Amino acid sequence: MPASAESTADEVLVDHDLTGRRALVTGASTGLGEETARALAARGAEVVLAVRDPERGAAAMDRIRAGVPGAVLSQRIVELDSLGSVRAFTGAYLADGEPLDLLIANAGIMGCPQRRTVDGWEMQIGTNHLGHVALTVPLLPMLVDGGRVIVLSSAGHRFADVDLDDPNFERTDYDPWVAYGRSKTANALFARELDRRLMGRAHAYSVHPGRIVTELGRHLTREAIESLMASMTTGGEVGWKTIPQGAATTCWAATAAELDAHGGAYLEDCHVAEPTEDPVSGTGVRAYAVDPNRAAALWDRTEEWLGT
């Protein structure tokens, strides 16, 4: 049966043997990250869980092994809102020289009050975009030929295009959903330009997992939740997914052979998304989130921001 919006991660992977492959999943101690790690491990992959808290990471590995006896798992600690932590993480990984078949940039923060990262960046662009770029790019030498990078974006990219000139809201009134939208657009654009730069040696994709209740919303205030729900219901009824369904598109992006012809695409419901101008509650991707010129401009500006 073809993968669809209702598919689970296990259903997407049922015909895949991932023995001998290694996957790195950020934010893997809970929610979509944990389910993605579990599903990949169940098909034989060795999975590295990149987590903030070693105790929570160990608990996630225990839960995975309870359902997947013999799962090959390890954990590494990284805080994406600290570039120093990210540099320590990538340095240690490179020193160990472990090849990667899959790098899944799953971790994220959503709709938080105005805050700054350790390095002074607006928290959502700093964590969701800059942290993952700083982690991903140094690890590209470890990505095997034919490997894939999957970056978790969101339908929330439709809240806002990325702002290349005011990433920290220094000239713009802060809005948590505009900030989230900017960061999720940045995720999609990063995958687009990364795929171009990989030049067919490997591929990159961005993914909208669907609307799922996870710890991603742990920072939301009551007002932010009400604002989000109002925006999501404007265009029609909202379809919610379970966590196993939410992880399905990520697993499809990691393994579907037909996607070799669609490098850099934005994916949702286990298919390549079509351009749209619908509200956030619809489906599809805004043109600005997959525009190649915008993607190249963001890459250049990100290099300036990171000083690389």
pLDDT recorded at residue 21 = 98
Per-residue pLDDT at 228 exceeds 70: no
Task: Round the average pLDDT of the chain to a whole number and report it.
Answer: 93
- Answer whether 236's CB lies under 8 Å from 51's CB: no
In CATH, what number is assigned to the domain containing residue 170? 3.40.50.720
pLDDT recorded at residue 49 = 98
How many independent structural domains does the chain possess? 1
Per-residue pLDDT at 42 exceeds 90: yes
Q: What gap in Å lies between CA 304 and CA 43, rounded to an integer?
A: 40
Query: Average of pLDDT values for 189-201?
Result: 98
Q: Catalytic: 205? A: no
Of 126, 104, 142, nearest to 25 by C-alpha is: 104
Residue 1, in any domain of the structure: no
Quick one: which H or E segment has residue 266?
A: strand 266-268
Residue 215, in any domain of the structure: yes
Residue 125, in any domain of the structure: yes
Residue 194, in any domain of the structure: yes
Of 85, 87, 59, nearest to 73 by C-alpha is: 59
Residue 2, in any domain of the structure: no
Residue 4, in any domain of the structure: no
Domain boundaries, position 236: 9-306
Amino acid at 162: V
Sequence length of the chain is 308
pLDDT recorded at residue 235 = 42
pTM here is 0.93
Q: What gap in Å lies between CA 32 and CA 104, rounded to an integer?
A: 11
Catalytic residue among 180, 205, 266, 288: 180
- The torsion angle over the Cα atoms of residues 270, 148, 155 and 286, rounded to 10 degrees, is -100
Q: 125-183 pLDDT, tens per residue?
A: 999 999 999 999 999 999 999 999 999 999 999 999 999 999 999 999 999 999 999 99
pLDDT recorded at residue 277 = 87
pLDDT recorded at residue 211 = 87
Per-residue pLDDT at 12 exceeds 90: yes
- The torsion angle over the Cα atoms of residues 136, 245, 60 and 94, rounded to 10 degrees, is -20
Residue 192, in any domain of the structure: yes
Phi, psi of 201 (to 5 degrees): -65, -35
Dihedral class, residue 20 (left if φ above 0, else alpha if ψ from -120 to 50, else beta) = left
Residue 25, in any domain of the structure: yes
pLDDT recorded at residue 238 = 45
Per-residue pLDDT at 273 exceeds 70: yes
